[in-house]
């Protein structure tokens, strides 16, 4: 409970790293919106989204979470949860761009991105922990190559793997069960 008798000090730790990563979320949102709009003939927007999201995840896990763990001597408290979401997203990205798959991806990102962008969230924690090497971190992020993504697969096996990955990350696997509803 908040002690109203004490002034609350809000320390903002949002600099170039936070801004860059949050802007990536906005670009990904836009690409996912295009993929879900029904005009994504040939799945070009979906393919761009898949590559960009996998690169974004790689940056978070290999650069930011790794740096934070090294600095703290232990993983960020939220890292395990975020990695499970990343696993679910990677599994969902193997599915064809049908409405139910896009809707499930949207639902995971809607729960996931605020944990990274929130006041005191993972991006602010990384900005603070990496403050002395921020330019080097930004350079490594910029130098992260495109992640090659294999073609999506329309198979019960891949669908089952995506359902299990959703459940493992604490999301409702039934997100994938209503193929008649449009991704909003």
Question: In terms of CB distance, is 29 or 99 closer to Fe ion?
Answer: 29
- In order of 25, 37, 76, 108, 150, the CA distances from 141 in angstroms are 14, 30, 19, 23, 22
Task: Mention every residue, 6+ apart, whose C-beta is less than 8 A from residue 62.
Answer: 144
Cα distance between residue 31 and residue 148, in whole Å: 17
Does 40 engage in binding with Fe ion (CB under 5 A)?
Answer: no
Q: How many residues of this chain bind Fe ion (CB under 5 A)?
A: 2
Question: In terms of CB distance, is 40 or 60 closer to Fe ion?
Answer: 60
Find the binding residues for Fe ion in span 81-120 (CB under 5 A): 116
**Closest to 122 measured CA to CA, from 81, 168, 70:** 81
The answer to whether residues 54 and 147 touch, using CB atoms and an 8 Å cutoff, is: yes
The distance of closest approach from Cβ of residue 7 to Fe ion in the complex, given in angstroms and rounded to an integer, is 32
Retrieve residue 104's tokens: 């499930």
Retrieve residue 91's tokens: 């599994």
Cα distance between residue 184 and residue 178, in whole Å: 13
Question: In terms of CB distance, is 116 or 127 closer to Fe ion?
Answer: 116
The distance of closest approach from Cβ of residue 19 to Fe ion in the complex, given in angstroms and rounded to an integer, is 13
Which of 40, 60, 124, 127 binds Fe ion (CB under 5 A)? It is 60
The distance of closest approach from Cβ of residue 18 to Fe ion in the complex, given in angstroms and rounded to an integer, is 11
Question: In terms of CB distance, is 23 or 74 closer to Fe ion?
Answer: 23
Interface region with Fe ion, contact rule CB under 5 A, candidates 45-53, 54-62, 139-147, 167-175: 54-62
The distance of closest approach from Cβ of residue 63 to Fe ion in the complex, given in angstroms and rounded to an integer, is 12
Question: In terms of CB distance, is 159 or 169 closer to Fe ion?
Answer: 169
Retrieve residue 66's tokens: 């790794």
The distance of closest approach from Cβ of residue 53 to Fe ion in the complex, given in angstroms and rounded to an integer, is 9
* DSSP run (H or E) holding 90: helix 79-92
Per CB under 5 A, residues contacting Fe ion are 60, 116
């Amino acid at each position: 409970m908040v002690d109203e008798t004490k002034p609350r000090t809000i320390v903002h730790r949002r600099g170039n790293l936070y801004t860059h990563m949050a802007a990536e979320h906005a670009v990904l949102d836009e690409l996912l919106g295009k993929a879900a709009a029904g005009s994504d003939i040939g799945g070009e927007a979906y393919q761009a989204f898949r590559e960009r999201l996998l690169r974004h995840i790689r940056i978070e896990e290999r650069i930011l979470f790794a740096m934070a763990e090294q600095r703290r001597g232990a993983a960020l408290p939220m890292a395990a949860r975020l990695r499970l979401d990343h696993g679910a997203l990677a599994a969902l990205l193997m599915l064809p761009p049908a409405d139910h798959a896009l809707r499930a991806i949207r639902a995971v990102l809607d729960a996931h991105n605020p944990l990274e962008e929130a006041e005191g969230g993972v991006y602010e924690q990384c900005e603070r922990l990496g403050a002395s090497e921020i330019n080097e971190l930004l350079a490594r992020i910029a130098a992260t190559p495109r992640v090659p993504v294999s073609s999506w697969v329309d198979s019960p096996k891949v669908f089952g793997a995506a359902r299990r990955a959703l459940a493992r990350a604490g999301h409702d696997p039934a997100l994938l069960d209503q193929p008649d509803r449009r991704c909003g």
